[in-house]
Amino acid sequence: MTSTFRYLPDTDQDQKEMLSFLNVSSIDELFSDMPASIRLDGELAIPDALPEPALWKKMKNMTRQNMELPLFLGAGTYDHYIPSVVGHMISRSEFYTAYTPYQPEISQGELQAIFEFQTMVCELTGMDVANSSMYDGFTALAEAASLAVGHTKGRKVVVSRAVHPESRAILQTVAAGPGYVVEEAALSKDITDLDALGKQVDGDTAAVIVQYPNFFGSIEDLQEVKRIAKAHGALLIVSANPLALGLLQSPGRLGADIVVGDMQPLGIPMAFGGPHCGYFAVTKPLMRKVPGRIVGQTTDEDGNRGFVLTLQAREQHIRREKAMSNICSNQALNALASAVCMAALGKTGLREMAVLNLEKADYACKLLQQKGFSVLNQSPFFNEFVVQLPKPVADVQDALIDAGFIGGFDLGPDYGEPNGMLVAVTEQRTKEEIEAFIHALEGIVQ
């Protein structure tokens, strides 16, 4: 008889034997030490279990309801081309079953993959050292702020309001631990107000944080922000889109002390918002304060090239009071996906992909303006811009779905702009899709 289960569940008899061994009479008694106020009162509202063949049929029927619509939504997660080789490489068992390469003698493949990822990140960002990856770009930014506070001994971090709202929210949460203050810098339309920033930064400021391109897609003046930070002994932290760095000047060359970001634009599918992969790069003086781990290159006793875990500045490996972070892992598989993507695209392909994002977003923006729409961005932008609508974005988004499009991000909840929609145009959007989207938008608002 063929089993209907891929994995053997515990039977009623199994449960009885385990409860007997624990000397308790029921599952409820097993959890009796937990206060009744936090225990579930009743059964979970989930369907009964199904045999695996029936479950497969049900899931396949559900997938047929998925909508494959042209996507103009970005705001941190983007629809980008992923070379087919990426899926083939990360599906190899030696990579997708690997965790932490504690034993270098049997982990050379995993270690080299991480080392190549670090090297590519350094080339993109213009920084000296990069770690083996972090959970995502949002938490990487908060870790960068904590590093700056520990390094400079300043008790204040100034972050631009043009930084992703979720990054700023996580930063506020993390800051409560070490006890430093987070202040938000005002905006001048679509970029950071540099005059106000100059007055806000002082001798107690550990770091100034900006995004590049910023949340509205616009390009910040990193050199000027660096000048303001340096005048008060503060570090410059830049949260950068790695794809945009294929075209823009690297933050390292513009004076950044720490560069963080999210590798999702390079080789990682959107997947309903995760998992992502953060990167973390610094100048050499900050190398020993980087959270997580760094893979280094060395030679064995026979002179052969080899790889090892060179630095691990976390509490699991060093004295707790010396630890700069409690980060105890990395996103090795997603880092591999990004590294394979970058290798497949190459320098020329990466730049061409970035140029397509720039040009297609510019085309969409100009076409919208020709149709009478107002665009907020006054500074150069990459692949996102803000269009002002004559009615609330939430209403427009619903109508766009009916018209066969996924619209942009509603800026209302985070920026008090109920009619401001952040539109993303990547290389995946065709000329026909862009024109049809704008035609549908025009009809909706009229």
Lowest mean pLDDT among 1-10, 86-95, 216-225: 1-10
DSSP 172-189: HHHHTTTT-EEEEEPEET
**Nearest C-alpha neighbor of 428 from the set 177, 72, 36, 2:** 72
**Nearest C-alpha neighbor of 90 from the set 341, 328, 294, 292:** 341
Are the beta carbons of 434 and 363 closer than 8 angstroms? yes
User: Residue 100's pLDDT is what?
Assistant: 73
d(CA 111, CA 100): 9
Name the band, by pLDDT with cuts 50, 70 and 90, for residue 96.
confident
Task: Name every residue whose Cβ is closer than 8 Å to that of residue 392 and which is 6 or more positions away in sequence.
Answer: 412, 418, 419
Task: Specify the amino acid at residue 355.
Answer: V
Name the band, by pLDDT with cuts 50, 70 and 90, for residue 319.
low
Strands 156-160 and 205-212: parallel
For the chain, what percent of residues have pLDDT higher than 90? 79
Q: Which fold does the domain 346-445 belong to in CATH?
A: Aspartate Aminotransferase, domain 1 (3.90.1150)
pLDDT by residue (tens digit) across 286-309?
998 998 889 999 998 899 999 998
pLDDT by residue (tens digit) across 239-275?
999 999 999 999 999 999 999 999 999 999 999 888 9
Strands 235-240 and 258-262: parallel
Which tokens is 134 given?
């972090």
pLDDT by residue (tens digit) across 406-435?
999 999 999 998 899 999 999 999 999 999
pLDDT by residue (tens digit) across 242-252?
999 999 999 99
pLDDT by residue (tens digit) across 367-391?
999 999 999 999 999 999 999 999 9
User: Residue 314's pLDDT is what?
Assistant: 59
Strands 181-185 and 187-188: unpaired
Q: Residue 166: is it exposed, middle or buried by C-beta count within 10 angstroms (0-12/13-18/19+)?
A: middle
The structural domains of the chain, with segments of one domain joined by +, span 84-341, 346-445
> Which element (helix H / strand E) includes 159?
strand 156-160
Strand segments (E) across 360-425: 374-375, 384-388, 409-410, 420-424
Q: How far is CA 78 from CA 98, 114, 321, in A?
A: 27, 23, 39
Taking 3-state DSSP, the helix, strand and coil percentages for the chain, each rounded to the nearest 5, stand at 45, 15, 40
Name the band, by pLDDT with cuts 50, 70 and 90, for residue 316.
low
| CATH class of residue range 84-341 | alpha beta
